[in-house]
A and B are shown apart, each in its own frame.
Chain A
Amino acid sequence: MQAIQARLTYLFRSTKGLILVAISMIAIETALFGMLSGPMAEFGVRDFVIRVFGMKLVEAEREGRIIILYHSIAMAVVAIETYMITGLLKMKEFYKTAVRVLITVGYLMAMVFGMGFAYWGHNWALHGLYIAGLTLIFFAGILLVVALWPWSKEVYQLDKAYSTSKGGVDIERVAFFTAGVTTLASVIFGAVPGSYFGNGFEVFLAENIIRIPEKTVMEYSIIGHLHIMLALIAVMITLIIGRWLDFKGILHKIAMPLMILGTIVLNLGVWGVVTPLEPIAHMVIYVGATPSMLAALMLVIFGFGKFIREGTAGIVRPTFGQKMAALVRDPLRFGPLWQMIFMNFTVSGIGILMAVRLDEIFRVWPAREERIELTGHWHVLSAIIATIILLYYGDIIGLKGKIRKLYGWSIIILSDLAFASVTIFEMKRLFVSEAEQQPLVNTVMYLIDFGLGMLLVILALVLIWRLADLFKKKGRWAEEQEQDDLSAEVK
C-alpha cells in the first residue's frame, strides 16, 4: 500500500510526475482517437476500434466530437505548461499547490468525461462534468495569474542581466503574467458562444464558414478564440523555453517588452473581430504577431549563440564547422529553438502567403481545398508545440548520451519530415492538378504517416520505460520526486 502511495505521490504531487501523467494521457488519447480518421479509416481500423470500444458515433455530431477532442488534448497541454511555469517561476507554495490540484483535476475531468460524452452516447451528466473540468482549469488560471503577480518585491529581479524595470520588476514575469491574463480573457470568447451553441449541441467548425461574408458575433468569437488560444499556448512555451535556457542579456532586455507588447496587441486584434473593428482586426493581429515573433527570434539567436560558445569553449579560433557541430551537439536544447525556426516555413510563412495572396490564389480554389490548408496549418502549429514540449521533457527526465541524441534527433527529424509533407499536401494545388495529384498525395501521406507514426512509437517506448521504472523500488521516479524545482535545472 505504501508503495502505491509513494508512486501516486510522485505522479500527482511532483512536477515531473504530473508532466508524465499529462503526456501519457495525451499519448493514450491520441493513439486511441487517432485511429478514427485519415489513413486508419481507409485501412478499416476505425470500424474495428468503434466496434471493440462500443463507441456511438452519430454523423451529425462529428463536429461536436472533434471540438471536445481538441479541447481535451489542449487542456492537458495547458496543464503541462502550467506545471512547467509553476516549477520554473518563484511563487508561494500555497498557490503552486492549489493551481496544480485544480488544473490536474480539471483536465482529467475534461478529458475523461468530455470524451465519454462525445464518443459514448449522450450522457448529459458526463457533459456537465466535462464543463466542470473546464471551469476548474479556468479557476486554476485565475490563481496562476494571482501567483504570477509581478509587482511584489519578493519576486523582483535583482540580477541586471535580465530584463527588469528601473525598480526591479521582472519583465519576463510580466510577460508570463500578461500571457496568463490574456489567456483567461480569451477563454471567455470561447466559453460564451460555447454555451450558446453547445447547449443545443449546435456546433460548427470555423474552417467550414470561412467564406460566408456575414458571420454572427458568436461565430466571430469562436474563430477569434481558437486562433488566440493556440497563439497564447505558443507564447507560453516560448517563454518557458526561454526560462529553461536561462535567456538573458541584451536580447532578453529587448525581447521581453516585445513579447508583452505583441501578446497584448495580438489579443486586442483577435478580440476585435467581434467588434465593429472587425475590418481592421487582421491588420492589428499582424502588428501584434510581429513583435512576438521578433522576441522568439531573439531567443533563438541567444540560444544558438550560447550553444556555440559553450560547445567551442576550449577552442581558441573555432572554425565554422566546429561552431555548427557545437550548435547541434545537444538535440534536446537545439531542437526547441530549431522547431521555432522551422515553424516559419510550415506555419507563419504559409499564413503570410495566404494573407497576401488570399483572393488571387486561395479563394480561387474550392472551399474544401482552402479548408485543407487551414486545418493543416494549425495542426502543424499544435504539433510543433507538442514536439517542443517533448524535447524539453527529454531533458527533464535526464536522458543522457546516445539515448538523448537518438530521442532528440528522432523527434526533430521525424516531426519535421511529417510537417514539411503536410505543408506540401496543403499547398499541392500550386503545383499539381486534381487529376494528376495522386502520386504526390501518396508520397506525402506515406511521409506524414511514417513521421508521426514513428514519433508516437518513440513516445510509446519512453512511456513504457517510465511505466517499467515505476515498478522499481528506487527507480528514476524516486529521484525525480525530489527534483520539484525546475529552475534548479536551468541550462
Chain B
Amino acid sequence: MKHILWLSLLIPLLLVSCGSVDLNAAVPAYETGVDPEGWVTIPAGEFLSGQHNDPVAIDYDYEIMVTDVTVDQYADFLSLARADGSIKIDGEKIIGFYPGDEFNGVKHEEKIDAGDWLYIPLDDPSQRIEFTSKVTFGAKEGYENHPMTMVTWFGARGYCDYYGWRLPTELEWEKAARGTDGRPFPWGNEILLNNANFYSSQDPFEDMSSFGSRTSPVGFYNGKTYDDYVTLDSASPYGLYDMAGNVWQWNGNVYEGMHYRFMRGGSKDTYDMDLRTWVRNNATPTYASPGVGFRCVR
C-alpha cells in the first residue's frame, strides 16, 4: 500500500518534469510605440558606479540605442552582410570574422584567435531568425519587435561593427542605465512586477507552468496598458528601455587574462536581484541564449 502511495505521487511528478515545451507557442503581439531605431546621447561626466556607488567619470559624450537590437533589425543586418560577404553560412551556423584577443596564458583563459567565429546558430529551436528563403533572413512571426537573442558576443559585436558602431563598455552601459544619482534600477530604487520582465513577473509573455518566461517586445514597459496588463514607465533617466530585465546585454570589454565577456541587466529568467544595474554576468563569447541580447553605442 505504501509503495502504491509513493508511486502514485512520483509518477505524475516524473511525467510532468519530462513534459516537452512548445517553443512555438503563440506569442502575444503588441506594438509598444517605442522606436527601436532611436538613439540617445549620454553626456560626459561623473556618475556613481557599482554596488557601492563609487564616483567614476566618463569624459566623452556617447550615443546609445534606446532599445535592444530587435530580431527584425538583426535579420536585416544578416541579409545585408550576407549579400556583401561580411558573414558566411557554415552549415546551420552564421559565422563572421573576429580579429582575435591577446592571449596571456592565465589560468582558465582560453585562446580567442583571429578567424571566423559563431554569430548565431540557425538550428537551435529557440532561434528567432529564419532563413527559409535561403536568400534573405527574417524574423519568426510574432517576434519581429522582440530583442534579438540566441546571438553570441561575436554576433553582437559583428552587428554593431557592421554599421560602424560598437558594443558599450560596462561603464557606458551602467551610466546609461542608472544615470548619475546612484539608483539601483533604471527607474528608481524599488522594483515592482510591472517594471520589467523578470522571472515570475507575471507578464503576458510567461507561463510558468509550461514554457516559463519569454522575452517581451522592446520598450514594452513604458507605462502603456496592453489588454488588461498595465505596465509602469520604466525608462532609465536618459530614456532607455529594457535596461533591466527582458534579456542580458552583451558588453564590449575584453579584459586581460580572461576570455569571458560580460553582460548586464538581468533577464526574463533571473530574479529581481539580478536586475540591479551593477550586477554582472559573464559567459564565453560563443555562448548564445534565449535570454541574452545586446544594444550598440556610437
Contacts and interface: CB of A to CB of B under 8 A. Distances in A.
Interface in A361-389: 363-368
Interface string B106-137: 11111000000000000001100000000000
Nearest to B292: A366
Interface stretch (A93-101, A137-145, A441-449): A441-449
Q: Chain A: interface secondary structure?
A: helix
B210 A214 contact: no
Contacts of B51: 60, 63, 202, 204
A438 B107 contact: no
Contacts of A59: 184-185, 189-190, 273, 276
B287 interface: yes
A41 B270 CA distance: 13
A427 to B, nearest CB: 14
Contacts of B271: 41
B196 to A, nearest CB: 14
A349 to B, nearest CB: 21
A207 to B, nearest CB: 12
Contacts of A167: none
A490 B273 CA distance: 47
B108 A442 contact: no
Given A213-B106, A279-B107, A434-B269, A439 B17 contact: yes
A401 interface: no
A123 interface: no
Contact of A42 (B107, B126, B200, B263): B200
Nearest to A447: B13
Contacts of B185: 59
A50 to B, nearest CB: 11
Interface string A408-436: 00000000000000000000000001111
A363 B282 CA distance: 10
Given A366-B282, A441-B212, A444-B17, A434 B260 contact: no
Given A434-B291, A435-B290, A439-B21, 8 more contacts: A366-B283, A367-B280, A368-B270, A368-B274, A436-B125, A438-B211, A439-B19, A439-B210
Contacts of A202: 51-52
A434 to B, nearest CB: 6
Given A60-B51, A213-B107, A279-B107, A435 B126 contact: yes
B108 A439 contact: no
- What 3 pairs across the A-B complex have the smallest Cβ distances? A438-B212, A443-B17, A59-B184
A457 B53 CA distance: 42
A211 B260 contact: yes
Nearest to B274: A368
A368 B284 CA distance: 12
A439 B18 contact: yes
A368 to B, nearest CB: 5
Contact of A214 (B125, B257, B273): B257
B27 to A, nearest CB: 13
A364 to B, nearest CB: 6
A188 interface: no
Contact of B209 (A211, A358, A433, A442): A442
Contacts of A368: 270, 274, 281
A295 to B, nearest CB: 31
Interface of B: 13-14, 16-21, 23, 51-53, 106-110, 125-126, 184-185, 189-190, 199-200, 208-212, 257-258, 260, 263, 269-274, 276, 280-284, 287, 289-292
A214 B263 CA distance: 19
A437 B19 CA distance: 10
Interface in A58-98: 59-60, 62-63
A366 B287 contact: yes
B13 A446 contact: yes
Interface residues on A, range: 35 or more
A435 B291 CA distance: 9
Contacts, number: 104
B216 to A, nearest CB: 16
B289 A434 contact: yes
A440 B283 CA distance: 23
Contacts of A41: 271-272
B290 A443 contact: no
A14 to B, nearest CB: 39
A63 B279 CA distance: 12
Nearest to A278: B107
A444 B289 CA distance: 22
Contacts of A447: 13
Nearest to A435: B126
A436 B23 contact: yes
Contacts of B13: 443, 446-447
B283 A365 contact: yes
12 contacts: A62-B273, A213-B258, A434-B289, A435-B23, A435-B125, A436-B23, A436-B125, A438-B212, A439-B18, A440-B17, A442-B17, A443-B13
A41 B198 CA distance: 13
A359 interface: yes
A441 B107 CA distance: 33
Nearest to B13: A443
Contacts of B209: 438, 442
Nearest to B53: A60
A321 interface: no
A276 interface: no
A122 to B, nearest CB: 14
A292 B294 CA distance: 48
A200 interface: yes
A60 B52 contact: yes
Contacts of B210: 438-439
B236 to A, nearest CB: 16
A264 B21 CA distance: 50
A367 B16 contact: no
Nearest to A424: B17
Interface string A209-251: 0011110000000000000000000000000000000000000
B282 A211 contact: yes
Contacts of A438: 21, 208-212
Interface string A181-216: 000000000000000000011101000100111100
A367 B266 CA distance: 12
Contacts of A60: 51-53, 184, 276
A446 B16 CA distance: 11
Nearest to B192: A47
Given A59-B185, A439-B210, A442-B209, A366 B17 contact: no
A441 B199 CA distance: 12
Given A366-B282, A439-B19, A440-B17, A434 B290 contact: yes
A439 B269 CA distance: 14
